[in-house]
């Protein structure tokens, strides 16, 4: 077992530490960049757990209201997006087959989660306008499906 460091060795190590701190200081933004990278890695992990991407079937609307439909592997999603207060939209949706599916809306402002009623209907009021993605977890099935990124 090595002998403990002497006071002289501790002083030498402290001088060496200071020399490196002066020559190559830690960037002030490093902590924030590390936190961002960890959050991004967690988000990528969540997104890769969604194996099925719903395909856009149609889009129509007049500017104040838009209807989007998506379908894949027996799951259909119809979404009506209505302009609300400045910077917000109302999202009314219907899923088929109808069941108490869990629906998650991911926007740049965060995530909103709701559940469909027995008829497959859901509503997200005052959602943040802008880029978004809907994710559906069908009732009784852990496999999630997601829409492409859409502009609400």
Q: With 80 as the cut, is the pLDDT of residue 18 above it?
A: yes
Percent of the chain scoring above 70 in pLDDT:
82
The answer to whether residue 1 is domain-embedded is: no
Rg (C-alpha) for the chain, rounded Å, is: 25
Percent of the chain scoring above 90 in pLDDT:
22
Whole-structure pTM value? 0.59
Residue 63 confidence (pLDDT): 56
The answer to whether residue 113 is domain-embedded is: yes
Give the chain's end-to-end CA distance (angstroms, integer). Answer: 66
- 50-99 tens-digit pLDDT: 334 444 444 555 557 788 888 877 788 888 888 888 889 999 999 988 88
Domain count, the chain: 2
Question: Does one domain contain both 60 and 131?
Answer: yes
Asked if residue 123 lies in contact with residue 53, where contact means CB atoms within 8 angstroms, the answer is no
104 burial level (CB within 10 Å; 0-12, 13-18, 19+): middle
Name the CA dihedral angle for 105, 108, 111, 114, rounded to a multiple of 10 degrees.
Answer: -30
The answer to whether residue 14 is domain-embedded is: yes
Residue 4 host element (H or E): none
């Amino acid at each position: 077992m090595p002998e403990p460091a002497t006071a002289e060795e501790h002083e030498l190590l402290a001088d060496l530490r200071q020399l490196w701190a002066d020559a190559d200081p830690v960037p002030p933004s490093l902590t924030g960049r590390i936190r961002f990278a960890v959050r991004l890695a967690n988000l990528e992990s969540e997104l890769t757990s969604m194996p099925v991407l719903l395909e856009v079937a149609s889009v129509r609307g007049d500017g104040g209201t838009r209807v989007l439909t998506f379908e894949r592997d027996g799951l259909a999603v119809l979404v009506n997006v209505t302009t609300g207060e400045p910077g917000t939209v109302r999202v009314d949706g219907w899923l088929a087959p109808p069941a108490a599916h869990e629906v998650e809306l991911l926007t740049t402002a965060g995530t909103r989660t709701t559940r469909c009623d027995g008829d497959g209907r859901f509503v997200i009021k005052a959602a943040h306008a802008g880029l978004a993605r809907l994710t559906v977890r069908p009732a009784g099935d852990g496999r999630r499906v997601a829409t492409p990124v859409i502009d609400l």
